[in-house]
Amino acid sequence: QKEVEQNSGPLSVPEGAIASLNCTYSDRGSQSFFWYRQYSGKSPELIMFIYSNGDKEDGRFTAQLNKASQYVSLLIRDSQPSDSATYLCAVKGDKIIFGKGTRLHILP
C-alpha cells in the first residue's frame, strides 16, 4: 500500500515566524510532489510543486525534496494569519496519492 504521511497538527506558529510542514512517502518511484492549501469548507488549491531534489522557492514559500530520504517539506516564511489552513501533500507516481493534511494555525 503506497502511503503519504503527514502530521495532522494543529501546528501553531507565531505571526512572522517560519512554518515548516513535513511529508514522507513510501513509493520510491514517485516522480512529482505537490503542496495544496485548503481553507475550511473550500477546495484545495496548488501552492507549489517540485520534482527535482533540492529547494524550490516561490515568494514566501519554499518546497524541499529529498528523494533518498523520501521526504518533502514546505516552508512558509513571514507567516501571516491568512496562511492558517490545512496543507495537503500529494505525491505522484503511477497515480497521485494525497496525505491527510496538516492543520496550520498562525497566531496573531
Dist CA 8 CA 82 (whole Å): 19
With a CB cutoff of 8 Å and minimum separation 6, the contacts of 37 are 44, 45, 47, 83, 85, 86, 87, 88
Q: Provide the minimum distance between the beta carbon of 54 and another protein in the complex, in angstroms, as a whole number.
A: 15
3-state secondary structure of 105: strand
Residues at the contact surface with another protein, assessed by CB under 8 A: 4, 8, 31-32, 34, 41-46, 49, 51, 88, 90, 92, 95-96, 98-101
Count Cα atoms within 13 angstroms, Cβ side, for 88. 17
Query: Minimal distance in Å, beta carbon 16 to another protein?
Result: 28
Residue with Cβ nearer another protein (41 or 108): 41
Q: With respect to another protein, which residue has the nearer C-beta, 8 or 18?
A: 8
At its nearest, how many Å lie between another protein and the CB of residue 46?
5
